[in-house]
């Protein structure tokens, strides 16, 4: 905990120091992430990952000193909007990095791209902006929201599951995930259960699972819901006769709360802390040394975002030449922690996706672990509608 305070104070000091010493040619980057409420852990990972990259490069990206302005959207659309507007209009930033959640992205999208400022999402990748609403000023360094679920379908196929019980919260991302799963899964979906957001007690759903004929569960229960679901799943003794696979339910942000209950659970994603890429292993080591916890995909994506900006800025002489900046970003000429990485025509990534499972490390910490690659150079299914 103290770590968090220190980081925040340090970053605040860092920011004030830099801003007072700001020169005309400084590179200004604004960040809008969620740092309040339970999901604050996700936003904190993004801040930490980005700052680690920045630190390793001596506070410079593309050879320019960076002024990083971090804003908390408080998970309120109007706050996000105000913060983003002030970044664009008051601070006149060159790049906006954000957000964690798709609905926050919806809120800040229009004012940022309309001001012809590049918006790079280090996590949220809604279908909304992947298809016909794709935008020349918008890039995503994470994934398209549906992809992880689509790969989960492949995981289910690969593991030979015939009957799967799907459990998601009742909101857009939940429905997207079920649809994504159905798209690739070849077996039978026995149940599709939608719970309210913030669901506390899963025992009714668990009872239904135990009486269903499903041999596996597919879940999308981010944050605290995931912690509760996994613990209650294990407490009810369901782990013995049922497989559990999920997206954003057993990741490095929730595992400290799930611990042994989650070990052996399957997941799908484009990355794991032990993904055998040299740069990645170095990153995880440095990150743990500095922040004292295992990084999740959020931190990784933020690190990659910083590397992307680094590569683009070093290629361009004049940041006001938007076409040149766009071309440099699009080239994605940086060493991604995920290995292969490229942008599609809609500025969403084309990358490999893997099957992961949860393991306990020798030092008692938990993380997701790379099992094998299931989809190579996997593109999202909306990019064809993008005319750009």
Applying CB under 8 A, which residues contact other proteins?
A: 1, 4-5, 8, 12, 35-41, 44, 72, 76-78, 81-82, 85-86, 89-90, 102-103, 106-107, 109-111, 128, 133, 170-173, 175, 192, 194-201, 203-205, 207-208, 210-211, 223-224, 227-228, 231-232, 235-237, 253-254, 256-259
CB of 160 to other proteins, least distance (A): 27
Dig out the tokens for 375 from the structure.
């989809």
CB of 78 to other proteins, least distance (A): 5
| Closest CB to other proteins among residues 205, 310 | 205
Residue 239: DSSP 8-state: G
With a CB cutoff of 8 Å and minimum separation 6, the contacts of 265 are 230, 244, 245, 246, 250, 357, 358
| Closest CB to other proteins among residues 1, 24 | 1
**Kind and range of the H or E run holding 27:** strand 27-33
Secondary structure (3-state) at 46: helix
| Closest CB to other proteins among residues 60, 82 | 82
Strands 366-378 and 349-360: antiparallel
Q: Count how many residues are written for the chain.
A: 388
305, 334 contact by CB (below 8 A):
no
CB of 337 to other proteins, least distance (A): 23
CB of 333 to other proteins, least distance (A): 32
Task: Give CA–CA dist 266/255, Å, rounded.
Answer: 13
CB of 151 to other proteins, least distance (A): 23
Dig out the tokens for 48 from the structure.
């930490």
Dig out the tokens for 96 from the structure.
């906006």
| Closest CB to other proteins among residues 231, 381 | 231
CB of 331 to other proteins, least distance (A): 29
| Closest CB to other proteins among residues 112, 313 | 112
195, 202 contact by CB (below 8 A):
yes
Cis bond before residue 99 (omega within 30° of 0): yes
Q: What angle do CA 309, 108, 148 make, to 5 degrees?
A: 70
CB of 60 to other proteins, least distance (A): 25
CB of 292 to other proteins, least distance (A): 11
| Closest CB to other proteins among residues 115, 314 | 115
| Closest CB to other proteins among residues 190, 314 | 190
CA-only gyration radius of the chain, Å: 20
Strands 60-61 and 64-72: antiparallel
End-to-end Cα distance, the chain:
45
CB of 256 to other proteins, least distance (A): 6
62, 314 contact by CB (below 8 A):
yes
Task: Give CA–CA dist 182/178, Å, rounded.
Answer: 6
| Closest CB to other proteins among residues 61, 166 | 166
| Closest CB to other proteins among residues 354, 367 | 367
């Amino acid at each position: 905990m103290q770590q968090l305070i220190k980081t925040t104070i340090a970053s605040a000091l860092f920011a004030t120091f830099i801003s007072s010493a700001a020169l005309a040619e400084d590179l200004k980057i604004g960040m809008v992430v969620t740092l309040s409420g339970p999901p604050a852990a996700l936003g904190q990972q993004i801040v930490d990952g980005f700052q680690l990259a920045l630190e390793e490069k001596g506070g410079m990206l593309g050879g320019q000193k960076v002024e990083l302005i971090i804003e908390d959207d408080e998970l309120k659309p109007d706050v996000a909007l105000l913060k983003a507007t002030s970044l664009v209009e008051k601070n006149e930033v060159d790049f906006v990095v954000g957000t964690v959640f798709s609905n926050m992205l919806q809120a800040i999208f229009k004012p940022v791209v309309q001001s012809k400022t590049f918006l790079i999402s280090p996590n949220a990748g809604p279908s909304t902006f992947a298809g016909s609403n794709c935008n020349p000023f918008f890039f995503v360094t994470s994934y398209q929201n549906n992809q992880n679920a689509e790969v989960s379908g492949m995981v289910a196929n690969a593991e030979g599951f015939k009957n799967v019980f799907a459990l998601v919260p009742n909101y857009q991302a939940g429905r997207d995930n079920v649809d994504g799963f159905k798209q690739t899964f070849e077996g039978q979906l026995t149940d599709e259960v939608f719970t309210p957001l913030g669901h506390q007690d899963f025992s009714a759903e668990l009872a239904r699972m135990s009486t269903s004929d499903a041999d596996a569960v597919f879940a999308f229960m981010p944050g605290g819901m995931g912690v509760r679901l996994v613990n209650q799943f294990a407490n009810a003794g369901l782990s013995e006769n049922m497989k559990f696979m999920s997206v954003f339910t057993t990741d490095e942000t929730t595992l400290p709360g799930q611990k042994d209950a989650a070990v052996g659970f399957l997941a799908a994603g484009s990355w794991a802390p032990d993904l055998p890429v040299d740069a990645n292993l170095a990153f995880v080591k440095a990150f743990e040394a500095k922040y004292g916890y295992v990084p999740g995909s959020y931190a990784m994506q933020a690190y990659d975002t910083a590397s992307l900006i680094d590569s683009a800025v070093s290629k361009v002489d004049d940041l006001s030449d938007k076409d040149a900046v766009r071309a440099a970003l699009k080239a994605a000429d940086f060493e991604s922690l995920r290995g292969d990485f490229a942008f599609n025509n809609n500025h969403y990534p084309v990358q490999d996706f893997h099957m992961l499972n949860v393991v306990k490390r020798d030092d008692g910490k938990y993380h997701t672990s790379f099992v094998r690659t299931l989809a190579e150079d996997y593109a999202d299914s909306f990019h064809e509608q993008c005319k750009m």
